[in-house]
Structure 1
Amino acid sequence: MLYPRMTSSRMVFELNGIWDFKLLKKKEERDAGRRLKDSMPMPVPSSYNDIYPGRDFADHVGDMVYQRTFTVTNPVKQGRLFLRFGAVTHTAEVWLNGELLGSHKGGFLPFSFEISKQSRVGENLLTVFVNNIVDYTTLPCGRVVEEEFPGLEQRTVNLPNFDFYNYSGIMRPVWIYTTPDVYIEDIEVYGKMDGSVYWKIQAEGESADKAKVTVRVLDAEGRCVYTGTGYSGSGRVEAPRLWDTQDPYLYRLWVRLQSKSGNVDEYTEIFGFREVSIRDCRILLNEKPVYLKGFGKHEEGGSRGRGTDMALMTKDLGLLKWIGANSFRTSHYPNSEEMMQLCDRMGILVIDESPAVGLNTGFTATGLLGGNPKGTWETLRTKEHHKHVMEEMVKRDKNHPCVIAWSAANEPASQEDGAKEYFAPLVALTKEKDIQKRPVTIVTYEGSTPKTCKVAELCDFLVLNRYRGWYDTEGNLKGAAVKLKEELEGFHVRCPEKPIMLGEYGADTIAGLHDLNARLFSEEYQTEFMRAYGEVFDSLPYIAGEHVWVFADFATAENIKRVDGNKKGIFTRDRRPKQAAYFLKSRWEEIRNPY
């Protein structure tokens, strides 16, 4: 799906701003064709939860409605008109002028509707019904529980199977944009180290298959370095400047489509020449080993929750550069398109993760063990939706040079029977849809050991989440290091050709809490924790990276195990460094590799 960009043949208009908003009660009458009554202002994009005070407001379970008007002019109606949402969490039902456009399930990927017929010149009424429930059919997963207490009304509670707050709403930008009657629907482009460039164009409209397609590769200065024709093809750019973390050089593929009637559409897609591969327990970027240094990272902060915030995401990448990191994982959902574009530009490597978190019926609302396992793969009803999400994610992010790998899930019940049968088709589908055949992984947790894991052989590289020294062996970092090393060695024996990296490791740390003896929750303990893990990594030649959990403190479901959220951040929620940030900065600057 192409990102909305203004071109010589397209107009783009943002519908961001203040919308009308209302939480809906169960069975409350819904009328999409009338203006809302008793509504309140709500910023879009944002998560709705923290905008107004009130526990019942923030923790509302079920439906809500967003509404606004926009004006369409005669010139806008000359071709086709589309409505596009960056993401609505978790399901959306969209109406225009009282007519249903359609619905979308999945809270972290874009979707669009053509509104050429439903829109009218003048004022148009746009209504979006949003549902925030997570259950055993959604990604991420959760449970809906009806609580009853004597003398009180029945209360519906939504318990996530994951350890982050269930922010929801229209969380990413909304646009309308125009195209000609025959238009470019999608572009796939891939540039290799030797200058080979491959493209595939998808067009829509009457007799689109008979249209003339011209492509040009433009360098960063706008010079044309290759010209070709056809809906698909390949060519070569002489001596391309490769994209990497030190020199994230970007090219553009300019595409011109001309229909038999003379209709013209133009679009420019950004890409880079670079290759990702795996060999001899190493992840290679442009045939050079790259050691991944960075974090698991939530897209969250302040009062906007997970709403798109260009200033915050730019600051975050600046902090990644400052601390010496070169990568992060989009834990635990695809980040915004704007973030991916910034990573392309700033040379940040990304493990792009689907929202498949909580695929474990033994997890509780804070992501910790202690639920009621009943056989995860017999209980969940996510398989078909998961396939659709992987297709959507690859389709959206396929051209980004920053994306070096795909993660199909985080901490599923990969030790249970049925896990291999569930994930094998997903891994195969992901590779089928990706022209670059980038590595695919499944991030596993401590319950999935070298002896019990059912999915290790499906992964191109192993990403392990381990908390020795925190959730077990707490306070005993020497013992934790022994257990960690033993487990890493066990996985290497089982999969001797696969790179292994830590996808999560960390300790909750209260900013400003100091202790001479480096006790739990102190900044000193977090620093010593990082040091102990680093020594283990340095002793094992097949470790390909280290992603600390977590970049910054973040909100979670309310629970006595979480004091004001998860405090494992190396930075506070408002992006102030803890002591461990300076240790990691020193460590990562000393780890010398090509990237």
Structure 2
Amino acid sequence: MIRTFQTHKVRKYQELTGCLWEFEPCQGEFAGVKYQVATPCCWESHPDFSGYRGEGIYRRDFEGGGNIRLEFKGVSHTAVILLDGEEIAQHYNAYTSFSVIIRNLPEGIHTLEVKADNRFSEASALHVPNDYMSYGGVSRPVVLEQLNNLYVEYVHITPFRRENKWHAEIETAVYGVGQEAEEFELSVEAAGRKQEWSGVAEPAGRSVFRTELCFEDVKEWLLETPELYEAEVKVLQDGIVVDDLIDRFGFREVEIKGKKIMVNGRQIRIKGLCRHEDHPQFGCALPYAAIAADLGIIRNLGANSVRTAHYPNDEVFLDLCDELGLLVWEENYARGLSLEQMQNPNFEPQAEQVIREMIPLHYNHPCIYIWGILNECASDTEYGKECYQRQFDIIRELDASRPRSFASCKFKTDICFGLPEVVSYNIYPLWYHDTPAGEYLDDLYQWIQKETGGAGKPFLVTEIGAGGIYGWRNNYKGKWSEEYQAKTLKKQVSECLAYKDCSGVYIWQFCDIRISEEWFGGRPRGMNNKGVVDEYRRRKMAYPAIKELFGRYSNYFE
């Protein structure tokens, strides 16, 4: 599944995945052997490749010609794309989309090959052995689009309220695919309003159009009633529509007022869970039904938000959050990198690339209320601070409508809280140390207010939790038992939700996840076992405790 709604009525497109492709590993005992595998997929889901690190080629034929655009929603970690044996694109990072336009392709049968590589190396500054599994494969859809000489690249809608009326800034771009300049007419329709322009697209040139519209009698996107609208962009030549693009948006505005996070004028209380894209059957290539099932569990727990740990998520996940009224903290890709790792010359350009690919693609999702970066990285160093500053600057360049944050674990040593709009901390009292949760939280918060640039800003707990192995119970409620996890989470989350200056909490984590064998970190079962449910989504004793706690508090501070 590409999206949960139709994105084109005129432009012809088809998903090339969602069927069997040929898969050929390039190293190891099965090198050169050809398999038939369902796509999208992680090769670790195949019995012969459950622990394979190396390169693998995915291959299929398709029929087409003329001007085409190939979009790859996610290939892990590194992708080399070949068409009829010729390299046409390369890409780094598993979690963001990339595309390539091929002009004047001869009509006929063509062979598409995706060479994926999930090995760790100095060339890969973001994909490193870590406390989660870094899979290999074509893990998200591949899409084939048929283009004319003009195509709509994007439409971005930024709703805001002024004088008790909803307005929206709209920006859209048309790209010239042909070899000559092309005159065209352009229109955008959204929520009953329409804007038209005329333009000329130069070959391989981008024409950008902007306007502001005022809207009457529209419904807001709220957690309780997440109303969505379509924006439809059309390119016309001689009165004929030659290309189009449809995207969805909601009338939702996020503001920071002192220590408050406001969504459509109301102070939001975050009751959230961190979630990795991970499943024992699918790896990180979860199909629609599995994603929807996860969100069903999250809503049943009484949560109103999900933090995408620790990378941009599948668009289908975001589409569903838009539809279900779940707020999303989405972040670029980096977890727990040391100063030495951040000084890898590839780190900054690769991290910046993720931001530049993530935000334009996910801009219109009303569910995304905040952008995050660099989870638990070297924010206690001057060099690290320079990296945080550069990446926050890029976010502001791309999107001025949402606040920014990062999740720190640097206890009373972080020097970066003056940079974002929201201060966030990952804390594990009663798990990694025995300090009572309320005491630890207050001590940390008071330090932020008295000694950092984060004073007077909203404060979130972005991770808190304890490990519990499904089915392991004992009378003394020791660590790793379900009893200890349930008892500890109840104490931790209670203190966070009751603390008057805490805007909310994200539990670490939704489900147990596989970790990189190269990292391990002393995790029992080779898993991070802090899930409220296990990897098969079976409920632990913590589940009813969290559901009861979340149920005590409304979505808003009244």
| TM-score over 0.5 for the pair | yes
In structure 1, the partner of 2:9 is 8
SS in 2 for 1:196: strand
d(CA) in 1 for partners of 2:47, 2:123: 30
Q: Is the 8 A contact 1:181 1:263 kept in 2?
A: no
Matched, 1:178 2:146: yes
In structure 1, the partner of 2:87 is 100
What's the CA shift for 1:58? 3.0
SS in 1 for 2:490: helix
Q: Is the 8 A contact 1:513 1:523 kept in 2?
A: yes
Task: Select the residue among 183, 193, 196 that pairs with 1:226.
Answer: 193
d(CA) in 1 for partners of 2:236, 2:472: 65
Matched, 1:508 2:467: yes
SS in 1 for 2:504: strand
d(CA) in 1 for partners of 2:122, 2:446: 35
In structure 2, the partner of 1:203 is 174
Task: Select the residue among 403, 416, 425 that pairs with 1:464.
Answer: 425
Which deviates more from structure 2 when the two are superposed, residues 542-551 or residues 513-522? 513-522
Seen in structure 2, the aligned counterparts of structure 1 residues 378 and 204 have a Cα distance that, compared at 3 Å, is: closer
In structure 2, the partner of 1:566 is 528
What's the CA shift for 1:121? 2.6
CA-to-partner distance for each residue in 1:64-118, whole Å, 9 max, x for gaps?
211111223xxxx4x6311111100111110111121111111111111113434
Which deviates more from structure 2 when the two are superposed, residues 235-244 or residues 204-213? 204-213
In structure 1, the partner of 2:155 is 187
Matched, 1:214 2:187: yes
SS in 1 for 2:188: strand
In structure 1, the partner of 2:55 is 63
Q: Is the 8 A contact 2:125 2:344 kept in 1?
A: no
Matched, 1:84 2:76: no
Seen in structure 2, the aligned counterparts of structure 1 residues 435 and 201 have a Cα distance that, compared at 3 Å, is: farther
d(CA) in 2 for partners of 1:512, 1:533: 22
d(CA) in 1 for partners of 2:8, 2:245: 6
d(CA) in 2 for partners of 1:485, 1:209: 62
Q: Is the 8 A contact 1:279 1:497 kept in 2?
A: no
By percentage of residues, which structure has more strand? 2
Q: Is the 8 A contact 1:141 1:359 kept in 2?
A: no
d(CA) in 2 for partners of 1:488, 1:112: 44
In structure 1, the partner of 2:114 is 128
> Counterpart amino acid of 1:199?
I
In structure 2, the partner of 1:359 is 337
Could you tell me the TM-score, scaled by structure 1's length?
Answer: 0.85
How many matched pairs? 532
Seen in structure 2, the aligned counterparts of structure 1 residues 508 and 264 have a Cα distance that, compared at 3 Å, is: same
d(CA) in 2 for partners of 1:528, 1:380: 44
> Counterpart amino acid of 2:371?
W
Seen in structure 2, the aligned counterparts of structure 1 residues 538 and 191 have a Cα distance that, compared at 3 Å, is: closer
d(CA) in 1 for partners of 2:290, 2:13: 24
Seen in structure 2, the aligned counterparts of structure 1 residues 105 and 187 have a Cα distance that, compared at 3 Å, is: same
Map residues 226-245 of structure 1 onto 2, 5 A cutoff. Answer: 226-230=193-197, 231-245=209-223
In structure 1, the partner of 2:350 is 385
> Counterpart amino acid of 1:172?
R
Q: Is the 8 A contact 1:136 1:382 kept in 2?
A: no
d(CA) in 2 for partners of 1:482, 1:22: 55
In structure 2, the partner of 1:588 is 550
In structure 1, the partner of 2:22 is 20
Seen in structure 2, the aligned counterparts of structure 1 residues 444 and 383 have a Cα distance that, compared at 3 Å, is: same
Task: Select the residue among 523, 542, 552 that pairs with 2:501.
Answer: 542
d(CA) in 2 for partners of 1:377, 1:266: 41
What's the CA shift for 1:182? 1.2
Which deviates more from structure 2 when the two are superposed, residues 80-89 or residues 530-539? 530-539
What's the CA shift for 1:275? 0.3
CA-to-partner distance for each residue in 1:495-536, whole Å, 9 max, x for gaps?
231111111111110122223432211222112212221343
Seen in structure 2, the aligned counterparts of structure 1 residues 542 and 275 have a Cα distance that, compared at 3 Å, is: same
Q: Is the 8 A contact 1:419 1:454 kept in 2?
A: no
SS in 2 for 1:311: helix
CA-to-partner distance for each residue in 1:256-290, whole Å, 9 max, x for gaps?
11136956222221000110011121111011011
> Counterpart amino acid of 2:142?
V
d(CA) in 2 for partners of 1:560, 1:105: 26
What's the CA shift for 1:136? 4.3
Which deviates more from structure 2 when the two are superposed, residues 283-292 or residues 120-129? 120-129
Which deviates more from structure 2 when the two are superposed, residues 322-331 or residues 458-467? 458-467
d(CA) in 1 for partners of 2:315, 2:99: 15
d(CA) in 1 for partners of 2:256, 2:57: 47
SS in 1 for 2:488: helix
Seen in structure 2, the aligned counterparts of structure 1 residues 523 and 112 have a Cα distance that, compared at 3 Å, is: same
Q: Is the 8 A contact 2:465 2:492 kept in 1?
A: no
Matched, 1:485 2:456: no
d(CA) in 2 for partners of 1:189, 1:71: 35
Q: Is the 8 A contact 2:135 2:284 kept in 1?
A: yes
Seen in structure 2, the aligned counterparts of structure 1 residues 139 and 304 have a Cα distance that, compared at 3 Å, is: farther
What are structure 1's unaligned runs of at least 5 residues?
Answer: 29-35, 143-159, 219-224, 362-374
Could you tell me the TM-score, scaled by structure 2's length?
Answer: 0.90
In structure 2, the partner of 1:329 is 307
What's the CA shift for 1:471? 2.0
CA-to-partner distance for each residue in 1:334-377, whole Å, 9 max, x for gaps?
1101111111111110001111224226xxxxxxxxxxxxx444
Map residues 513-528 of structure 1 onto 2, 5 A cutoff. Answer: 513-528=472-487
Matched, 1:420 2:391: no
d(CA) in 2 for partners of 1:303, 1:213: 45
Q: Is the 8 A contact 1:14 1:175 kept in 2?
A: yes
Task: Select the residue among 381, 406, 409 that pairs with 2:371.
Answer: 406
Which deviates more from structure 2 when the two are superposed, residues 533-542 or residues 547-556? 533-542
d(CA) in 1 for partners of 2:362, 2:352: 16
In structure 1, the partner of 2:132 is 164
Q: CA RMSD in A?
A: 2.3
CA-to-partner distance for each residue in 1:219-268, whole Å, 9 max, x for gaps?
xxxxxx21222322111111321001101000111111113695622222
Matched, 1:42 2:37: yes
d(CA) in 1 for partners of 2:479, 2:332: 32
> Counterpart amino acid of 1:514?
R
Seen in structure 2, the aligned counterparts of structure 1 residues 501 and 347 have a Cα distance that, compared at 3 Å, is: same
Seen in structure 2, the aligned counterparts of structure 1 residues 348 and 226 have a Cα distance that, compared at 3 Å, is: same
CA-to-partner distance for each residue in 1:178-236, whole Å, 9 max, x for gaps?
13221111111122243202211110115778421112113xxxxxx212223221111
In structure 2, the partner of 1:433 is 398
CA-to-partner distance for each residue in 1:456-477, whole Å, 9 max, x for gaps?
111211121111221223xxxx
In structure 1, the partner of 2:516 is 557
